[in-house]
Structure 1
């Protein structure tokens, strides 16, 4: 499996380009602030053709570039419970956060809703770009947060150690989890998602999170204090 990541210009959000191999169709996951130019460079360099954009949730830092990346030719996929966020994700920012964002980003923030949006649901299997992507609804950070799970791991990672890849958005990070104090967050729902969704993932799974470095389910199960808390 071919995977490349791009870190957004604000909030350190990870955007991923995933394909079966170079020269084929691909999916783009969580195109955040200012990633569109670098995503296009990856597509050109590796002869990739976008087939869809997948969103782990609807927060601005994960969706800001979705419309230019979709370019009116591919659909954005988001869980039905976060669909409303694509109407205007800027509106959900606090009064002081938007000016701070614009200062960090270097220009005024604007928003245009994607032309085509596909609503996805729990346990749905998306067959896109030659990939089979399982959707796991994991609310808590937002109402419609999801994990995207695929068989296989990126090129260069030993397959005798890891067998699957999960794109975890802001549900699970290396050593931490997504915050639950923003609008739509729910600590109790996050606890259930960690216990019933994250901890049920197999140990030999690579985790590609929405922020920060990659990790594995085995490592997080053994060391992540939030998982240890719900497991105990």
Structure 2
């Protein structure tokens, strides 16, 4: 499986481009602040055609470039859990004025937002698990609230090219639910510490040790490593 990561200009958010192989359709996951030109460079270099944008949740640092990316070379739609759909109306509205001002000072321009034209929701009516068939990939989706109401994990049953597959046989895009050695915070609007504990217990801990974990921030890890060393998991 082809995988490339792009680190956003703010908050060090990881954006991923994944595809069955070069020259195929692809998925773009969590296009954050300032990634759109680099996404287009990856698409051009590897002859990839975007089929959809997947969003692990609706925080600004994971969705800021979603509209320009969706309106790029080929018009595509973003996919987001129904419980976080409201955030795409205006993710700036959920941020403190101080944080918005800090971003504007960093980039020297006013932060703006345009809602994507067509948004695809999944997970409506309390559906905790679903499957998406996109770009020749079968993506399993698990609802894991806590960081936000609609946070999810995306799992593909393959590993990136160049990763030894003896011990790893799937890739989990964990957003801000699980990081290497840590988890996402729960003190932001829509966060819920009790829901996060349930998600860690019921969604994250059952993941196979053979899972490569690509988080929303920071380095890649494995489920085997996190099960044995992540204090938020070992304490459950």
Normalising by the smaller structure, the TM-score range is over 0.9
Partner Cα separation in structure 2 for residue 16 and residue 108 of structure 1 = 26
**1:69-84 superposed matches below 5 A:** 69-71=69-71, 73-84=75-86
Please give the TM-score of this superposition, normalised by the length of structure 1: 0.98
CA positional deviation for 1:104 = 2.4
**1:73-222 superposed matches below 5 A:** 73-121=75-123, 122-222=128-228
CA positional deviation for 1:124 = 1.0
**2:9 aligned residue:** 9
What SS does the aligned partner of 1:4 have?
A: strand
What SS does the aligned partner of 1:200 have?
A: coil
What SS does the aligned partner of 2:23 have?
A: coil
CA offsets, 1:71-119, max 9 Å, x none?
0711100000000000000000012110111222332110000011000
**1:42-61 superposed matches below 5 A:** 42-61=42-61
Would you say the 8 A contact 1:9–1:105 is kept in 2? no
Partner Cα separation in structure 1 for residue 107 and residue 167 of structure 2 = 39
CA offsets, 1:35-64, max 9 Å, x none?
000000000000000000000000000000
Q: How many pairs does the alignment contain?
A: 230
**2:29 aligned residue:** 29
Would you say the 8 A contact 1:70–1:76 is kept in 2? yes
Which has the higher mean CA deviation after the structures are superposed, 162-171 or 103-112? Answer: 103-112
Partner Cα separation in structure 1 for residue 118 and residue 21 of structure 2 = 26
CA offsets, 1:126-181, max 9 Å, x none?
00000000000000000000000010100000011101000000000000000000
Would you say the 8 A contact 1:140–1:191 is kept in 2? yes
Partner Cα separation in structure 2 for residue 219 and residue 104 of structure 1 = 36
CA offsets, 1:188-227, max 9 Å, x none?
0000000000001000100000000000000000000000
Runs of 4+, deviation exceeding 3 Å: none
Partner Cα separation in structure 2 for residue 39 and residue 24 of structure 1 = 15
Gaps of 5+ in 2: none
